[in-house]
Structure 1
Amino acid sequence: MNFIEAIILAIVEGLTEFLPVSSTGHMIIASAIMGINELEFTKIFTVNIQFGAILSVVVLYWRRFFQSIDFYIKLFVAFIPAAIFGLLLGDFIDSLLENVVVVAISLLAGGILLLFIDKMFNRSTDDIEAVDYKKGFVIGLFQCIAMIPGVSRSAATIIGGMSQNLSRKAAAEFSFFLAVPTMFAASAYKLLKDYKFIGAENLQTLFIGNLVAFVVAMLAIKFFINFLTKYGFKIFGYYRIILGLVLLILLWMGVDLKVQ
């Protein structure tokens, strides 16, 4: 992976991490198009640059992270399901990170769901403090669904929040906060597990990738909150459906997307 490829993937990560369109799915597609998705370092890179994205949450919402201890306990409770399933299914999840077919089907199915999600959950509160331990755990269970590439961690947790009577904005913000421990743990685990594949040159690539993802994600978060509050999920649903169908058609036509 060269610097240009790393910057492209980092921009894709920053733009899509907090949108309900699946950042992992988009990075798999982008790396497949560039022909680098079979590299072991690419898998490490696509997970690790999420760290840069979560730093944007800490910077933009830094006041929220000086709340009570209860706030951190709620995040920890919501994080538990992903931690357990991530440890149990880590190898299986890694095997899916190269599969564009899985991404295409997930994008399509998730897109159809997003078309109806606003009508499904119309009782809501803007008070994020309404999230108690039970609701936090339920949202955490929804997050586990996003371990399937193409589902979108953001979409899964926002829908989980809305199912617990949070408004679109409150659900999105809780999703951002939950991303911090979840993505930090995923990045750290991947680095510790596969550190042998990282040389001095790759460390520079990781640094640049995280920096780019951080800057782009800050812009994307501001856009997403405003857009979601005004317009809802439908546009993201249509986008996912179109992209999923395009990928399936390309695969059906025999286009080589480097799927192993």
Structure 2
Amino acid sequence: MEYLKFILYGLIQGFTEFIPVSSTAHLKVISLFLGIDDPGASLSATIQLGSVIAIAWYFRNDIFNFRSQSSKKIYEYILHQRLYWSVLIGTIPIVLLGGSIKLFFPYFFDSVLRSNLSIALVSFLMAFFMYLADSSKRGSINIKNHNYSDSFLIGFFQAFAIFPGVSRSGITISSALISGWERGDAAKFSFLLGMPAISIAAIVEFISSFNEFFSLGFLPLFVGLVSTFLSSLLAIDFLIKYFSSNGLKIFIIYRVIFGVVILLNL
């Protein structure tokens, strides 16, 4: 049963991390509906590492296209690549906000922001924000021609993903669309921007809750990571192909239904 539970955690995390419906909210709510333990913020953040590995694997040609360069040229290549700097700049806001909440408001985060009522209300707000984004005029900004101010703005909105129910992919893709990004590149940049944010959160949570994870055992956690990795690959591939042609409408409807279901079961 322990392994099945971690497989379930991984499937929920992987499928909902990149589809704009909030992985944290689904881990919390679905676990409650199924009568199993809420994995909590620490375990949720840790199994997200499987999602990071999935991003790296899916975009491996984009990320590691300097592999044939010499070591000196690799350093120069990374240093002068706009995309790497954009991801770094876009990560700053969520590190500052997440670090502040972790240091000064940890109990408020767990007791209030992870409540079902809070998640339902946030789901409605995100549905409205995504509707505005989906209705906005299609832009021409993409990964090749964007400015650092564009990446910082998306990173600023990404910082709000610290609140359960927001959805990191949902708010970054939506803010990119409102800012004038092309659909395909908005999704791609959202995924790449998530790599450092998700990794940092997972590492911090793992260190702060080391004893808790040690008691769980390595194998269940590993099974959860593998489950997350495989389901994340499917979710990334689906969203990139579906979103470019169809937009956010189906996810907006789902978020409203999700919020209503939560409220009806309070």
In the alignment, residue 159 of structure 2 is paired with which amino acid? C
Alignment gaps of 5+ in structure 1: 252-260
Alignment gaps of 5+ in structure 2: 66-76
**Helix, strand or coil at the partner of 1:198:** helix
Q: 1:230 & 1:163 partners in 2: Cα distance? A: 17
Written as runs of structure 1 = structure 2, the 5 A alignment for 1:7-22 is 7-22=7-22
Q: Deviations along 1:157-187, whole A, 9 cap, x unmatched?
A: 1112223321121111000001110000000
Displacement of 1:42 after TM fit? 3.9
What is the match of residue 24 of structure 2? 24
Q: Does the Cα contact within 8 Å between 2:133 and 2:178 map onto a contact in 1? A: no
In the alignment, residue 92 of structure 2 is paired with which amino acid? I
Cα separation, partners in 2 of 1:148 and 1:43, compared to 1, 3 Å:
closer
In the alignment, residue 233 of structure 1 is paired with which amino acid? L
Q: 1:32 & 1:47 partners in 2: Cα distance? A: 18
Displacement of 1:105 after TM fit? 1.0
Q: Deviations along 1:43-98, whole A, 9 cap, x unmatched?
A: 32211111001111100111211364232221110000000001101214344464
Q: 1:115 & 1:141 partners in 2: Cα distance? A: 19
Displacement of 1:141 after TM fit? 0.4
What is the match of residue 212 of structure 1? 227
In the alignment, residue 84 of structure 2 is paired with which amino acid? Y
Written as runs of structure 1 = structure 2, the 5 A alignment for 1:168-247 is 168-199=183-214, 201-247=216-262
Name the TM-score, length of structure 2 as normaliser. Answer: 0.87
Q: Does the Cα contact within 8 Å between 1:126 and 1:166 map onto a contact in 2? A: yes
Question: Taking every aligned residue pair, what percent have the same amino acid on both sides?
Answer: 30
Cα separation, partners in 2 of 1:3 and 1:97, compared to 1, 3 Å:
farther
In the alignment, residue 4 of structure 1 is paired with which amino acid? L
**Helix, strand or coil at the partner of 2:181:** coil
Q: 1:199 & 1:143 partners in 2: Cα distance? A: 31
What is the match of residue 36 of structure 1? 37
In the alignment, residue 134 of structure 1 is paired with which amino acid? S
Written as runs of structure 1 = structure 2, the 5 A alignment for 1:138-177 is 138-177=153-192
Q: 1:123 & 1:245 partners in 2: Cα distance? A: 30
Q: Deviations along 1:213-240, whole A, 9 cap, x unmatched?
A: 0001101111111110111111100001
Q: 1:116 & 1:159 partners in 2: Cα distance? A: 8
Q: 2:49 & 2:112 partners in 1: Cα distance? A: 21
Displacement of 1:110 after TM fit? 1.2
**Helix, strand or coil at the partner of 1:199:** helix
What is the match of residue 80 of structure 1? 92
Q: 2:246 & 2:240 partners in 1: Cα distance? A: 10
**Helix, strand or coil at the partner of 2:209:** helix
Q: Does the Cα contact within 8 Å between 1:126 and 1:169 map onto a contact in 2? A: no
Displacement of 1:125 after TM fit? 2.4
Aligned-residue CA RMSD in angstroms? 1.8
In the alignment, residue 219 of structure 1 is paired with which amino acid? L
Q: Does the Cα contact within 8 Å between 1:19 and 1:154 map onto a contact in 2? A: yes
Q: 1:112 & 1:201 partners in 2: Cα distance? A: 39
Displacement of 1:99 after TM fit? 1.1
Q: 1:242 & 1:205 partners in 2: Cα distance? A: 32
Cα separation, partners in 2 of 1:248 and 1:201, compared to 1, 3 Å:
closer
1:62 to 55, 60, 67: 60
In the alignment, residue 36 of structure 1 is paired with which amino acid? D
In the alignment, residue 5 of structure 2 is paired with which amino acid? E
Q: 2:208 & 2:157 partners in 1: Cα distance? A: 26
Q: How many positions carry a matched residue from both structures? A: 247
